[in-house]
Amino acid sequence: MKTVADIMHPDGNVLLRPEYGLFDGKWNAIACRNLKVLKSIQALYTRGRDIIISTGIKDAWTKLEYQSKLLAAVNIEPRQEIATRRLVDPAVYAAHIARHGKELWPKASPILCLYHLPRINARHIIPNAYSALSYTSGSGRLVGGALKVTGSERDAIMALPVQHIPFTLTDDVVAYQELLRANGVPTYECR
């Protein structure tokens, strides 16, 4: 079985980001409440090197089975900013709007590759990084943004097994990847 180390560059960054649920083929976007938060994530992330690890938020919106758990490892397209509604399954996005009365996370970067992690309590694997997600004052990280996992906690993440979850990229994402290739920019292939 592959591990996180197998799906990213050995010297790449491991970024941690809070999420309300599990990424799947129907919600395949790093969605943010505004462009500033999205750009802060994109600035930390290098395609082909880094990985974003999602962990469940502990709140009333997140299913109990996801709260405080490590959920997924994803590769994104950091150069593409797109409306979340253009990436996410229309029925799922309609349910999101109905639940919250508005778009909470309208800006997104598409997920290119998705891997589920074993649902381990994040506090047991990365206690310092997980605790830092709730702390933003003076940290420079915007609420909803990502932070770098370092040291022994990075090593612990790298050793976790992953399960590749195939899904179909939207036409917008495919077209953008084709545009990048046409301009000589290497695109990312799932490992």
Q: What is the mean pLDDT of residues 81-103?
A: 92
Rounded mean pLDDT of the chain? 91
Domain count, the chain: 1
Whether residue 134 is contained in a domain is answered as yes
Q: Mapping DSSP to helix (H, G, I), strand (E, B) and coil, where does residue 5 land?
A: helix
Q: Does pLDDT of 85 surpass 90? A: yes
Could you tell me the residue range of the domain that residue 77 belongs to? 4-182
* Within-domain flag for 152: yes
Per the structure block, which two tokens stand in for 167? 């899904």
Q: Is residue 156 part of a domain?
A: yes
Residue 187 lies in a domain: no
In a domain, 126, yes or no: yes
CATH number at residue 138: 3.10.590
pTM, rounded to two decimals: 0.93
Percentage of the chain beyond pLDDT 90 is 72
In a domain, 189, yes or no: no
Compute the distance between CA of residue 95 and CA of residue 52 in angstroms, rounded to an integer.
Answer: 25
- For position 135, what pLDDT does the model report? 55
When pLDDT is cut at 50, 70 and 90, the band that residue 189 belongs to is confident
165 confidence band (pLDDT: 50, 70, 90): very high
The helix (H) or strand (E) run that includes residue 51 is strand 51-56
In a domain, 191, yes or no: no
Between CA 57 and CA 134 the distance in angstroms is: 9
Residue 72 lies inside a defined structural domain of this protein:
yes
pLDDT at 137: 45
pLDDT at 121 over 60: yes
As a whole-number percent, the residues of the chain with pLDDT over 70 amount to 96
Q: What is the pLDDT of residue 60?
A: 78
Average pLDDT over residues 128-141: 68
pLDDT in tens, 7-57: 999 999 999 999 988 999 899 999 998 899 999 999 999 988 999 999 988
pLDDT score of 138 more than 80 = no
Cα–Cα dist 183/191, whole Å: 23
pLDDT attached to residue 100: 87
